[in-house]
């Protein structure tokens, strides 16, 4: 299985360090708005609804403070990633009940089945690396967060 480069789906404009929010719902709402500021052809209310609907099927909190919220998006032509480091860790109903402070939000085209699964597997492997996560957590701003996420991929 080939792995993707984070730099192929993530941009500095979709990397956010110190994001506010004190609940899962509010954080997802803020992230949907943040993404749509960068990608205006996606509607933030529809994106929020899709991400929340996906979370209701089961939390995307992987454990160790990591979550990978994801959903399929109409009129999305390629996989879109957004990396967020929260200002304060929040309850995300993660598998290990640990609060989440790092999120990688993934938007995929409706028809991207295999590619979607490959990207999720790559992200899960990447975020399972504690050194990589520590590097992200030690950043102070969005630019350094982007560099930390993409320089080693």
**Helix H segments across 6-150?**
24-38, 44-57, 113-127, 130-137, 142-150
pLDDT in tens, 52-61: 999 999 999 9
Is 82 in contact with 35 (CB distance < 8 Å)? yes
Residue 2 pLDDT level (bands cut at 50, 70, 90)? very low
State in words which class domain 8-146 has: alpha beta
**Residue with tokens 């205006």, as numbered in its chain:** 40
Tell whether the model's pLDDT for residue 3 goes beyond 80.
no
| Alpha-carbon span 64 to 96, nearest angstrom | 7
pLDDT digit string (tens) for 28-55? 999 999 999 999 899 999 999 999 999 9
Q: Are strands 66-67 and 61-63 parallel, antiparallel or unpaired?
A: antiparallel
Active site residues: 70
Q: What is the pLDDT at residue 16?
A: 97
**Using one digit for the tens of pLDDT, what is the confidence trace for 80-108?**
999 999 999 999 999 999 999 999 999 99
Phi, psi of 140 (to 5 degrees): -110, -15
Q: Rounded to two decimals, what is the model's pTM?
A: 0.93
For the chain, domain boundaries: 8-146
- Measured between its terminal Cα atoms, the distance across the chain in Å is 16
């Amino acid at each position: 299985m080939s792995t993707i480069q984070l730099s192929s789906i993530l941009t500095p404009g979709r990397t956010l360090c110190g994001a506010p929010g004190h609940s899962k719902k509010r954080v997802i709402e803020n992230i949907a708005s943040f993404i749509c500021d960068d990608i205006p052809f996606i509607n933030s209310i529809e994106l929020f609804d899709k991400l929340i609907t996906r979370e209701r099927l089961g939390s995307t909190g992987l454990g160790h403070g990591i979550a990978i919220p994801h959903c399929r998006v109409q009129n999305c032509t390629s996989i879109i990633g957004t990396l967020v480091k929260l200002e304060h860790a929040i309850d995300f109903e993660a598998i290990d009940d640990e609060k989440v402070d790092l999120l990688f939000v993934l938007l995929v085209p409706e028809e991207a089945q295999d590619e979607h699964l490959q990207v999720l597997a790559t992200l899960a492997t990447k975020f399972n690396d504690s050194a990589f996560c520590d590097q992200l957590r030690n950043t102070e701003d969005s630019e350094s967060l982007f560099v930390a996420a993409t320089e080693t991929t």
